[in-house]
Structure 1
Amino acid sequence: MSEYLRNQIVQKMLGEPKQSPARMPPARQAADTQPSSGSGPLGAAEVDAANALGAAYYQYPGYFKKGQGGLAGYQREKLAAEFGWSPAGMGKYEAALRAGPLNGLAAWGDSRTASAVAPELNVPECAPGNGYARANKRPHNDCRDAFRHAYWSALMAQRDEEDAAMLGDAYERSSKGPYAEVYMDLYNNRVGRRIGSANKDASGEQIFDLVADELEKRRLITSPFQALKR
């Protein structure tokens, strides 16, 4: 991740006023913000292929609106086998109560922190194929969304890894996304929990750097299409 992007996000985290540094060259932007499977920066042909595949995902008839009610039996089995997750169980509000008022409130604060910093990853090729508009900068099914889930889970896991898993799993039940989105989010949540549980005394900025490093090394799932290939 470039120093410019890192400074932008850290300033957002700390509530500091933004500066207006020079814009990164397009080639550097693409290299810094295309974390997908494989290693090394993507070439132009690979970026075009990712865009085409992402567009195909969003054009699949009815897929985006299926929700969990449309999960096939084999999809439920795969999610249960890999993540221990089921669409049946606690929703996010019940899970927050189960975690206790202090932990539930802290988790909500962590969610707000992660949601505040994720949109700063607003650069070309961050969200191929999903009609991303710069105007609203809402992270969804892109590298910013992957970072948000992993960072939120890492912050929660610094306090309690089991509660972090319970809250993250419950959030996915409440969001009712289709299979590929649920897989993507559960996967990135798990990466984040491992970071947080292994670095319980790290600062928020240090956790940010660790998650950003996973993103840069393409160890997060950054689009639902990547989940469909697993």
Structure 2
Amino acid sequence: MLALLVVMAIGVAGWLFNDWEPRLLPIRVIEVKGELHHYSSQLLQKTLTARLRGGLLTVDLLELKAAAEDLSWVGHASLRRVWPDRLEVEVEEYRPLARWNQDSLVTATGIVFKKGTGIVPEGLAQLEAEEPRAPEVVARYQEWREALRHIGHAITVLSVDSRGDWQVELAKGTRLRLGTDTVEERFARFIASAPQLEAAGHPLRVDLRYRNGFAVKWAPNVEPAVPTPNKDRPMQSGNRG
């Protein structure tokens, strides 16, 4: 009987504590730390306030952490109690490297996240692939972007389909077809030949799916400035592979 009374007393005390603690130790301030580039700290504060249950001692930090990280742009959040009435929230935000498929963004490490309602930086390239390939596509994009920058080109779209067929669209309007095999070698072949191509005219499509050469489709009404093979013919001999 005594044991039952003790258990009941503990239960009542717990109920009273949970009922009174938010009134005695209310959380009055949610302080957000960390660089927020696309969303304001007020939005995060509003999100956490809506999920706030309990006072400083009883608030569920794990629940609030999950609520913060549910926001598409938040990569990691950590929370801690600060006496007497404050929650401190540290946020690491995803920084987009490029657009990803139709409605997402991707970081420099290949993490894909939804863009939500935030402001997306202008001038981001479009990367298109199945999501498991994101780290590979991002790494290749960064490598190729630097190589192209040195010869005055920029990538607008980089894509690889389910068959592994790679294509690149450049800001000047040229499309590169790299195929599925030895794509690094084929890309390097374009880099080496780009000055010759630009001296000859305006290439719309460069098909590098040949073992030893490539085929070029020129812009209409532009005659090559130097002798070249017919359009859509390999500039060097070789079989496509």
TM-score by length of 2: 0.24
* More relative contact order, 1 or 2 (CA 8 Å, 6+ apart): 1
Task: State the TM-score, normalized to the length of structure 1.
Answer: 0.25
Q: Which has the higher strand share?
A: 2
Higher alpha-carbon Rg: 2
- Report which of the two has the higher share of helix: 1
